[in-house]
A and B are shown apart, each in its own frame.
Chain A
């Protein structure tokens, strides 16, 4: 009787020890993963803020204005003015087109200013 009790306790101790041991290692492994992920997040964040800064720099009004001027031939962009507003009722009734003509088929796609040279 006593022996069975001793054996069972021993088995219990061994089992619990094994469980604690594996838990410990999985925890350490997840901690390491969290740490790596955090580093990665920090790096991504830094990259994101860098890219945002570059995006803001490339979209600065001065540059966009110059690009609009340079590409006036193809884009024909002019400053927004009060003449660019229209009343909704001033629009003609939409006509029904049963056979839509291919409006844009033979047109070259509009070229928008190349930004690559400026990125540096």
Chain B
């Protein structure tokens, strides 16, 4: 800035000309200069104040923000740690009805390789193959030395010994990842119920375990939900009963030369499945791949008890009799025409043995007469038959908690003509799973109340479902079924177990093949209820293509095959379930001793 002189020449010259005082000019100029100076100082001071104010605002602002943060943030870091420790098992255990472990987790490690970090990839490849002989040496060498891959999963889960051996190689490019492996400590036991798991998303810190079949898949969300804090999933299965049932069933299957077998034991009141098996089975720890060729029904992974749809033969007769009784058309002692063959249009219905001109309703069941049942079914009518079968659950897939459950939708005729009514009355023309049959028998056994089969433990000791048939009819049916086993002339005398009053019905159905039936291959089924005096359990045993030499003849019928196996299962399992045998001196009391 140009400094203005105190005595500008122009003004001084002017003042001299007029004779004015020059000092006045000087004073004026000095005052002006001072004003300018004061103004400048003021601006400076104002700026200084502004900067200072800003400093204070920032300082107090920081304090305020921090205070705000302290006041609003409730969660402390350490609490996060506390919560984290609860999720040790990321997948809940599965236990049986008395708390035995059926599925749990086990810490293990996965091996992965990072070839860029390797010092001697060639040696690493060679040594790794020595430790894991099942690896393909060519592939490993290519992956390690090829240089293209930066990250390779070598093994999904390895034992501590193997991990140590790999560690001893001292190769920095071979690394371990933590894993929780799903283990089924009982091996093959309850394989079809448990299903199996596989690794889902994999990371180097942990891997997801995903259920692929059975309850592991059905309850996948429940088992993985951290909100349950690792509370186990309790099933209705009884470990001991399941083990014995599988054991006896396997022996029976081999003894009866059959290629497959299934058995279901169910509580008649709650619908809880106490034990359920399908043979051949598999080890869920090493779940095999599904068969790519041949009959899917022969795959070990196939659950015959739940997924298998079979025509269940004469076990259905009791439903026809049930609907006739329910309608009040006949009583237990009514005579039914059993002349054989019975002609319906171009079809001929025949009995296995000629039972003479007539039998009582009770004897129709005991001797398993096709013609008698068919005539009862015609008398009761198609509508009544459809109603009873629908009520007993034969129209829909079961609600069992297995992913395989909904796939088993019973096959029923459409349209449903009179001839269908006749054939279905003795178990042909409608295919359902053994589980459907067990559920239906449970409804008869518990006095006619609806039962929903379940694999979860419930604490129900009496039936609470809707009524599907009257109690008196249900009791009559159980009495008739008791005669099938207890009477000398019954078809299932081999299923009699001293002290347990077994009631049941045999069923032998020729296997349906494309365009007809195979004569020499049958599915033989025995559906039973015990003890008949106060039914507690239902047992359905089904054998696939059994044949046995007995009394000089080859036998395939259920009375010779499935019935004795069922008898043996009841002999062995009933005491385990705490059922006390009925004393022979006429006392019909049994006492629940345990469970």
Contact = CB atoms under 8 A, between A and B. Distances in A.
Contacts, number: 82
Nearest to A64: B243
Contacts of A35: 78, 81
Describe B's contact surface by its main secondary structure.
mixed
A49 B89 contact: yes
Contact of B183 (A45, A53, A81): A53
Interface string B409-449: 00000000000000000000000000000000000000000
Contact of A31 (B78, B84, B243, B583): B78
B400 interface: no
Given A34-B78, A34-B82, A82-B498, A56 B576 contact: no
A56 B100 CA distance: 7
B105 A49 contact: yes
A62 B187 contact: yes
Interface stretch (B165-173, B342-350, B567-575): B567-575
Contacts of A49: 88-89, 93, 104-105
Interface in B486-519: 497-500
Classify chain B: how many residues form its interface, as a range: 35 or more
Contacts of B89: 49
A60 interface: yes
Contacts of A53: 101, 104-106, 183, 185
B78 A62 contact: no
A82 B105 contact: no
Classify chain A: how many residues form its interface, as a range: 20 to 34
B581 interface: yes
A41 B85 contact: yes
Contacts of A80: 572, 575-576
Contacts of A3: none
Contacts of B84: 42
A38 B189 CA distance: 36
A35 B107 CA distance: 22
B162 interface: no
B500 A82 contact: yes
Interface in A59-102: 59-62, 65, 79-82, 84-85, 87
B175 interface: no
A38 B581 contact: no
A35 B576 CA distance: 47
B581 A85 contact: yes
Nearest to B579: A82
Nearest to B244: A79
A12 B332 CA distance: 101
B198 interface: no
A56 B101 contact: yes
B243 A61 contact: yes
A52 B101 contact: yes
Contacts of B576: 80
A60 B575 contact: no
B566 to A, nearest CB: 15
Nearest to A31: B78
Given A38-B85, A62-B187, A62-B243, A81 B78 contact: no
B243 A81 contact: no
Contacts of A61: 186, 189, 239-240, 243-244
Given A38-B85, A60-B185, A87-B583, A82 B497 contact: yes
A62 to B, nearest CB: 6
A60 B186 CA distance: 5
A61 B187 CA distance: 10
A60 B189 contact: yes
A56 B104 contact: yes
Contact of A52 (B76, B104, B107, B572): B104
A36 to B, nearest CB: 10
Nearest to B240: A61
Given A49-B105, A53-B183, A82 B581 contact: yes
Contacts of B107: 46, 50
A26 B244 CA distance: 60
Nearest to B498: A82
In order of increasing CB-CB distance, the 10 nearest A-B pairs are: A61-B243, A82-B581, A56-B101, A56-B185, A57-B185, A42-B85, A82-B499, A80-B575, A60-B186, A53-B104
Given A62-B189, A82-B497, 16 more contacts: A31-B78, A34-B78, A34-B81, A41-B85, A49-B93, A49-B104, A52-B101, A56-B104, A60-B186, A60-B187, A60-B189, A61-B189, A62-B187, A80-B575, A80-B576, A85-B580
9 contacts: A34-B82, A35-B81, A41-B85, A42-B84, A50-B106, A60-B185, A62-B243, A80-B576, A81-B572
